[in-house]
Amino acid sequence: MEEKAARRRLVLVPVPAQGHISPMMQLAKALHLKGFSITVAQTKFNYFSPSDDFTDFQFVTIQETLPKTDFKNLGPLQFLLKLNKECQVGFKDCLGQLLLRQSNVCIIYDEFMYFAGATAKEFKLPNIIFSTTSATAFVCRSVFDKLFPNNVLDPLKELRARKEELVPEFHPLRYKDLPIYRNIVDKQTASSVIINTASCLESASLSSLQQQQLEIPVYPIGPLHMVASAPTSLLEENKSCIEWLNKQKKDSVIFISLGSLALMEISEVIRPGSVSGSEWTESLSEEFGKIVSERGYIVKWAPQKEVLAHPAVGGFWSHCGWNSTLESIGEGVPMICRPFSGDQKVNARFLECVWKIGVQVEGELNRGVVERAVRRLMVSEEGEEMRKRALSLKERLRASVRDGGSSHNSLDEFVHFVKRL
Ligand code: UDX
């Protein structure tokens, strides 16, 4: 059986953004360890340069002509629409070339790179969807239209009017927590869906997906960074912060990181690259800069997983991207949640109300609001309880990726499924 798997080539198509490339490369690694041959089809835009950890992998480039500035100018959703149009022809060329040398090919594509599903269908190749967001966010996108039966033409209007209300059957999500776009999953074409989650985190959403929303198998095989770790950073990690952390007391530091995409106002944040129009810390007053350099440490790009694993880190102020959420829970670190868009609000709500390991900060930010959130998480009894729950969830996650655990078993089932396709 192993030999048959070795002959099957999986072509993986990631969205060219850090939060999508990382889990896709971790998935690639996990499947390679199971004996599959791997090809990664990447755009020129945000090209991931593989390290020696990926020497047995084949990398091919989808030719496209997207200007580098498009992402910031268009915003994520419009950019993805354009990307899908732009990549169609280039991906067909890549696949055509590959099929001259190789049979037994299967495509695994990020759900937002749906052009790859359409091309697979054209070439009559089996294809599988990979979701890098939570199962709950996936369910919300799947039922988006059904949630607004009286307002299908303008769901956003209804969503805004009812924003504080709980969504029926989606407790504890409120309308304002919903991601405001639909799923692109093509149930007619895809043969299964892989989700980067574990059943101990989202059993209800996974059951709903498996039993009601999708007629194809769903494989929860995450957190993938715990299943198969590999260096996946697009930017160089500045590891000097670890030396600084080594000098700090246990659980005394809050790590602040807002992922790779969120852009915000200067009044909210000072991380270089996260503020429109700013590259470094030029916006800080001299006095504030001095306080920060005495009591904190700023880098352009941190080795996030290493930082979260450091004993000095007692809390994580995050935008609640799904990777950051999984990485924080995976190290037992409770969070202050400041979500911006897409699936992040769903994750924040689950952190605060379901897993009870987070404090969500809503509305306008000011000194008092920040101070209260920090005190609640870092020095209150309530924060201590959150830390205990986070540590217990960490153990459950670790068990789920070990021999006999749910994600471990699900990965094995997926491998058998792919061998039979
Ligand atoms: C985006 C969406 O925002 C997110 O909600 C979705 O689930 C995936 O795509 P992003 O905003 O980049 O992702 O956030 P996140 O999912 O948290 O991924 C960011 C990744 O960058 C994490 O793996 C994190 O470890 C890494 N990172 C971030 C670093 O390694 N160093 C940093 O300094 C900041």
Say if 318 falls within a structural domain.
Answer: yes
Q: What is the pLDDT of residue 186?
A: 61
Q: Do both 305 and 412 map to the same domain?
A: no
In this structure, of 36-45, 285-294, 322-331, the range with the lowest mean pLDDT score is 285-294
Please tell me if the CB atom of residue 128 comes closer than 6 angstroms to any atom of ligand 1. Answer: no
In this structure, of 8-22, 147-161, 192-206, 332-346, the range with the lowest mean pLDDT score is 147-161
Write out pLDDT tens, residues 278-304. 666 666 667 776 777 778 999 999 999
Say if 4 falls within a structural domain.
Answer: no
Q: What is the pLDDT of residue 262?
A: 59
Q: How far is the CA of 342 from the centre of ligand 1 (A)?
A: 13
List the residue whose alpha carbon is closest to atom 3 of ligand 1.
321
Contact by Cβ (8 Å): 139, 202: no
Q: How far is the CA of 323 from the centre of ligand 1 (A)?
A: 6
Confidence band for 275, pLDDT divided at 50, 70 and 90: low
Q: Do both 286 and 358 map to the same domain?
A: yes
Q: What is the pLDDT of residue 304?
A: 97
Q: Do both 122 and 251 map to the same domain?
A: no
Q: How far is the CA of 266 from the centre of ligand 1 (A)?
A: 20
Contact by Cβ (8 Å): 91, 41: yes
Say if 3 falls within a structural domain.
Answer: no
Q: How far is the CA of 70 from the centre of ligand 1 (A)?
A: 20
More confidently predicted of 203 and 69: 203
Q: Do both 267 and 375 map to the same domain?
A: yes
Q: Do both 261 and 289 map to the same domain?
A: yes
More confidently predicted of 338 and 141: 338
Write out pLDDT tens, residues 157-197. 888 888 999 998 899 999 999 987 776 666 668 999 999 99
Instruction: List, in order, residues 6 or more apart from 80 with CB less than 8 Å away.
Output: 15, 112
Say if 378 falls within a structural domain.
Answer: yes
Query: Mapped to the 3 state alphabet, what secondary structure does the chain carry?
Result: CHHHHHHCEEEEECCCCHHHHHHHHHHHHHHHHCCCEEEEEEECCCCCCCCHHHCCCEEEEECCCCCCCHHHHHCHHHHHHHHHHHHHHHHHHHHHHHHHHCCCEEEEEECCCCHHHHHHHHCCCCEEEEECCCHHHHHHHHCCCCCCCCCCCCHHHHHHHCCCCECCCCCCCEHHHCCCCCCCCCCCCCCEEEECCCHHHHHHHHHHHHHHHCCCCEEECCCHHHHCCCCCCCCCCCCHHHHHHHCCCCCCEEEEECCCCCCECCCCCCCCCCECCCCCCCCCCHHHHHHHHHHCCCCCCCCHHHHHHCCCEEEEEECCCHHHHHHHHHCCCCEEECCCCCCHHHHHHHHHHHCCCEEECCCCCCHHHHHHHHHHHHCCHHHHHHHHHHHHHHHHHHHHHCCCCHHHHHHHHHHHHHHHC
Write out pLDDT tens, residues 366-394. 999 999 999 999 999 999 999 999 999 99
Say if 213 falls within a structural domain.
Answer: yes
Say if 169 falls within a structural domain.
Answer: yes
Statement: residue 309 has pLDDT above 60: yes
Q: Do both 165 and 77 map to the same domain?
A: yes
In degrees rounded to 5, what are phi and psi of residue 67? -65, 145
Q: Do both 258 and 219 map to the same domain?
A: no
Say if 361 falls within a structural domain.
Answer: yes
Nearest-atom number in ligand 1 for the CA of 347 is: 5
Beta bridge partners of 166: 174
Please tell me if the CB atom of residue 15 comes closer than 6 angstroms to any atom of ligand 1. Answer: no
Q: How far is the CA of 263 from the centre of ligand 1 (A)?
A: 13
Q: Do both 211 and 266 map to the same domain?
A: no
Identity of the residue numbered 74: L
∠ CA 313-245-399, nearest 5°, is: 40
More confidently predicted of 258 and 155: 258
Nearest-atom number in ligand 1 for the CA of 343 is: 5
Range of the domain at 409: 9-232+400-420
Quote the ipTM score. Answer: 0.98
Under the phi-then-psi rule, with left for phi > 0, alpha for psi from -120 to 50, and beta for the rest, what region is 88?
A: alpha
Mean pLDDT within 21-30: 98
Q: Do both 355 and 370 map to the same domain?
A: yes
Write out pLDDT tens, residues 62-117. 998 888 777 778 888 888 999 999 999 999 999 999 999 998 999 999 999 999 99
Say if 321 falls within a structural domain.
Answer: yes
Mean pLDDT within 135-157: 81
Q: What is the pLDDT of residue 213?
A: 80
Write out pLDDT tens, residues 401-417. 999 999 999 999 999 99
Beta bridge partners of 214: none
| Count of domains observed in the chain | 2
List the residue whose alpha carbon is closest to atom 28 of ligand 1.
259
Most informative mutation of 15, 18, 239, 340 for ligand 1 (most atoms within 8 A of CB):
18
Q: What is the pLDDT of residue 180?
A: 77
CA 177 to chain centre: 17
pLDDT mean across residues, the chain? 90
Token pair, residue 201, equals 């985190």
Q: What is the pLDDT of residue 382?
A: 97
Q: Do both 268 and 336 map to the same domain?
A: yes
Token pair, residue 88, equals 């169609």
In degrees rounded to 5, what are phi and psi of residue 59? -115, 130
Q: Do both 183 and 299 map to the same domain?
A: no
Q: Do both 173 and 106 map to the same domain?
A: yes
Integer Cα distance of 153 and 297 in angstroms: 48
Mean pLDDT within 134-142: 92
Please tell me if the CB atom of residue 22 comes closer than 6 angstroms to any atom of ligand 1. Answer: yes
In degrees rounded to 5, what are phi and psi of residue 15? -70, 135
Q: What is the pLDDT of residue 142?
A: 84
Statement: residue 141 has pLDDT above 90: no
Confidence band for 3, pLDDT divided at 50, 70 and 90: very low
Mean pLDDT within 215-225: 96
Q: Which CATH number is 320's domain given?
A: 3.40.50.2000
Please tell me if the CB atom of residue 321 comes closer than 6 angstroms to any atom of ligand 1. Answer: yes
Please tell me if the CB atom of residue 25 comes closer than 6 angstroms to any atom of ligand 1. Answer: no
- Catalytic sites, residue numbers: 20, 110
Q: What is the pLDDT of residue 285?
A: 67
